[in-house]
Structure 1
Amino acid sequence: MSSENAAEPRRIEVGGDQSYPVLVGSSLLGELPGLLGEHVRKVLVVYPRALRTTGDAVREDLAASGYEAVAAEIPDAEEAKHIQVAAFCWGVLGQSDFTRSDAVVSVGGGAVSDLAGFVAASWLRGVKVVHVPTTLLGMVDAAVGGKTGINTAEGKNLVGAFHPPAGVVVDVDTLATLPRNELFTGMAEVVKAGFIADPAILDLLENNSLDDISDHGGAVLRELIERAIAVKASVVSEDLKETGRREILNYGHTLGHAIELAERYQWRHGAAVSVGMMFAAELSSLTRGLPDAVVDRQRDILRKLGLPLTYRADRWHQLLDSMKRDKKARGALLRFVVLDDLARPTTLEGPDPALLFAAFQEVAAEAPRGGAVQLG
């Protein structure tokens, strides 16, 4: 699935009523004007403090292309996903007289595209947005699919909108400065894509060294990224608003989001999803007869990547309460994505609480001394 010519970007189409391309390659900033279109005059470039240099470079590049480019620097990571930060961005848009024909560009990880996408979706009831993800997690997950959202005290992504971007620019060169542990925490979403839809991803992870997997200029990482994006693009093309098949993308996320909330977002998303996938696999074994070999394979791959497999046992009731408020729940019924077998996901609704507890016991660990420890 890798591009035959490394100099040419791979174009992956996300279909649906509002189709758009995801471009994967190197040195792709020049693709932004084509994605923004000829009617856009003003562009708000949203980026986190940690990426000030990159954000400024994107803004300057757009200004050189003739746009009136305005910057909005926001907090790093999940601290960006608050209503106060969205209000700050709305203020910049208002003070700069942005109209419905103008656009927003996000530069950063998943939290940035979630926030910037929500700002674009809500400004004048929807303006164009283009995402430039700079983390592996952003590239394979958050920037693709049209989901936007912010967090509240009660949970993650409870406020948001479906707002497909006009395009996504996945420039693998931006991964060069990403710390290796952050690259591997983002790899949790790639693993997820392998287990729900594309087992070739798992073969690549098993048959290559960690050095090859993490080489931003290498063919292995490029193919992993392309395959994971292709899985999400295929699913989203069929079901933008998560009324059916798109739910499979939540494999590992119900417990994962609850862990993130319990840890006040001090755990990386991929680390929490890793534990969530192990929980979902154990629940699949108990309720759907998922073969032990598949559960073991998932554990082995996540362990190879250095991702966590367990979470503190004393938090179960807190996690259960959080999952009941999860946006995937339906009324009083909890819903989980589980596996009948490899690449055969399905939805489990209202499972017996005793089975949930039994599955959690398989991933439970003693509470760390001196408080929670951040992983990833």
Structure 2
Amino acid sequence: MVVIPVELAGRSYEVRVAGGLLANIAQEARAFIRKPHVCIVADANARAHWGDSLARSLSSADIEARWYDVAPGEASKSWDSLARLTDWLLGQGVERGDHVFALGGGVVGDLTGFACAILKRGCGFVQLPTTLLAQVDSSVGGKTAINTAAGKNLIGAFHQPSLVLADLDALGTLPARELRAGYAEVLKYGVLGDRAFFDWLEQSGSTVVGLARAESEHAVAASIAAKARIVAEDERETSGARALLNLGHTFGHALEAETGFSDRLLHGEGVALGMVLAARYSARRGTIALADAERVTRAVDAAGLPSEIAALSLDCDGRTLAEHMLHDKKMDAGTLPFILLRAIGDAYLAHDVELADVAAFLDEQLQAH
């Protein structure tokens, strides 16, 4: 087992990475269960795979599992879903000292975390991420949110979990496409701040996606450790350090918005394509070598992730995509900082990017290849 501490002032917690964590939940999370029952908010697919294992482990410790199922997909991150969940948690008598467990991917983690942030002005929660994307990204760091008609993740709160259990066994239940989408976030950590990790992924990425245990554990643990360091430095994204974690997301969210936040483009696929676009745009501005931008593209291609906008068959122009970016949470005083690259492993926050120039660049990408 690899244990990564997330060091925050007075609120530090552990992320544990290993196999068998969910099947041993009663022992792993016993410190966060203070009643003879625990509320578990679960993605319906995750519960189908892991519900019996969790229930058996809890039952062996005389703890009852009380389940709340959430439909898979971004549509569950809505006002209506939040209202139904908070009403259910109140009906279960959840108190401020209790912990709610979130079993599933980023959707369940975000929804549950936000519900716990506002329930009785804040109760605890434990993250049980079952997707690669959630294990290396959304389950760590305390960002919780729901979506609205105006955009993705625009209503939310910073609310840190008390424990994260990243069970590597859960990755074996994922569809191949979803596993690849999660790998995009792993690759992101190398591109934004760790060239040696990127070099390793160039050689070992196929074994990570193939779920070789040693390589998967290293990739997940290294990714979490990288995020933990940045979160500890800039928990609420005020200094600019944490904003670097959004590499690929500004372009990616625009593409997700244009595809209706649907399964036409999974979030991780949007991030992968967004990283390629960020690298190419950096090369266009002369801040990164074209050869490095091409390496990023090849790494994304090698993982079976999209690297060309043309593959999405979008019926729009660059201006339309750029306008989606106006709803980005990073907007500040009417300007939008972009996370760009000086080199692989050296991302920075650019405050001088004109959206008109981004629109022109995107027009070039839409017409290319």
TM score, norm. by length of structure 2 = 0.91
Aligned residue for 1:22? 15
Structure 2 residue aligned with 1:176: 172
SS at match of 1:329: coil
Is 1:303 aligned with 2:305? no
1:337 CA displacement: 0.7
Compared CA separation, residues 235 and 362, structure 1 to 2 (3 A) = farther
Q: Quick check: 75-84 or 166-175, which moved more?
A: 75-84
- Among 188, 210, 230, the alignment partner of 1:215 is 210
User: Is 1:13 aligned with 2:8?
Assistant: no
How far apart are 1:127 and its partner, in Å? Answer: 0.8
Q: How far, CA to CA, are the matches of 1:123 and 1:232 in structure 2?
A: 27
Q: CA deviation at 1:217?
A: 4.3
Most deviating of 275-284 and 144-153: 275-284
Q: CA deviation at 1:196?
A: 0.8
Given that 1:113 and 1:142 are in contact with CA atoms closer than 8 Å, whether structure 2 keeps it comes out as yes
Q: SS state of the match for residue 316, structure 2?
A: helix
Which of 235, 258, 264 is the matching residue for 1:262?
Answer: 258
Unaligned runs of 5+ in 1: 1-8, 368-376
Q: Is the 8 A contact 2:145 2:153 kept in 1?
A: yes
Supply the distance in 2 between the matched residues of 1:122 and 1:182 (Cα, whole angstroms). 30
- In the alignment, the residues of structure 2 paired with residue 87 and residue 289 of structure 1 have an alpha-carbon distance, to the nearest angstrom, of 46
Which residue type is aligned with residue 309 of structure 1? S
Pair 1:172–1:328, CA change in 2 (3 A)? same
1:158-211 superposed Cα distances (whole Å, 9 cap, x missing partner) = 00000010010011001111122211111111111001112233223221372x
Deviation string 1:344-371 (CA, Å, 9 cap, x unpaired) is 211112412343134324532589xxxx
Q: What are the residue-to-residue correspondences of 1:116-195 with 2, within 5 Å?
A: 116-195=112-191
CA separation in 2, counterparts of 1:146 and 1:47? Answer: 18
The amino acid of 2:223's aligned partner reads A
Q: For the structure 1 residues 26 and 228, does the alpha-carbon distance in structure 2 shift closer, same or farther, using more than 3 Å as the test?
A: same
8 Å Cα contact 2:143-2:160 kept in structure 1 = yes
The one of 85, 89, 92 equivalent to 1:96 is 92
**Cα gap change, 1:79 to 1:58, in 2 (>3 Å):** farther
Deviation at 1:258, TM superposition (A): 1.6
Q: Which amino acid aligns with 1:252?
A: G
1:64-118 per-position Cα deviation (integer Å, ceiling 9, x unaligned): 4344432110110212211111111111111111111111111111111111111
Picking from 258, 269, 272, the partner of 1:271 is: 269
Per the alignment, do residues 283 and 129 of structure 1 end up closer, same or farther by CA in structure 2, a change over 3 Å counting?
Answer: same
- Which stretch has the larger CA shift, 58-67 or 224-233? 58-67
Q: In 1, are the aligned partners of 2:46 and 2:130 still within 8 Å (CA)?
A: no
- Counterpart selection for 1:40 from 34, 39, 63: 34
- For 2:227, which of 224, 228, 232 is the aligned residue? 232
CA distance in 1, matches of 2:340, 2:26: 38
Structure 1 CA distance for aligned equivalents of residues 245 and 286 of structure 2: 18
Structure 1 residue 221: deviation in Å? 1.9
For 1:37, the aligned partner's letter is A
Q: What is the alpha-carbon root mean square deviation over aligned residues?
A: 2.0
TM-score (norm 1): 0.89
Which residue number in structure 2 is paired with residue 318 of structure 1? 320
Separation in 2, partners of 1:43, 1:351 = 48
Name which of 280, 296, 305 aligns with 2:278: 280
Give the letter for the 1:127 counterpart.
Answer: C
Asked if the contact 1:14/1:233 (under 8 Å) is kept, the reply is yes
Return 5+ residue gaps in structure 2 as ranges: none
Q: CA deviation at 1:306?
A: 1.2
The 1:354/1:97 distance shift into structure 2, 3 A limit, reads: closer
2:79 to 74, 80, 83: 83
Give per-residue Cα distances to partners, 1:10-61, cap 9 Å, x unaligned. 0001111211110000111335555462663252201122223223532453
Q: Residue 51 of structure 2 aligns to a residue in which SS?
A: helix
Secondary structure (helix, strand or coil) at the match of 1:231 reads helix
In the alignment, residue 102 of structure 2 is paired with which amino acid? S
Q: Give the number of equivalent residue pairs.
A: 358
| Distance in 2 (alpha carbons) for counterparts of 1:194 and 1:362 | 27
Whichever residue aligns with residue 346 of structure 1, its letter is: Y
* Matching residue's letter, 2:16: L
Query: In the aligned structure 2, how far is the partner of 1:97 from the partner of 1:354?
Result: 52
Q: Give the letter for the 2:13 counterpart.
A: Y
One-letter amino acid matched to 2:21: L
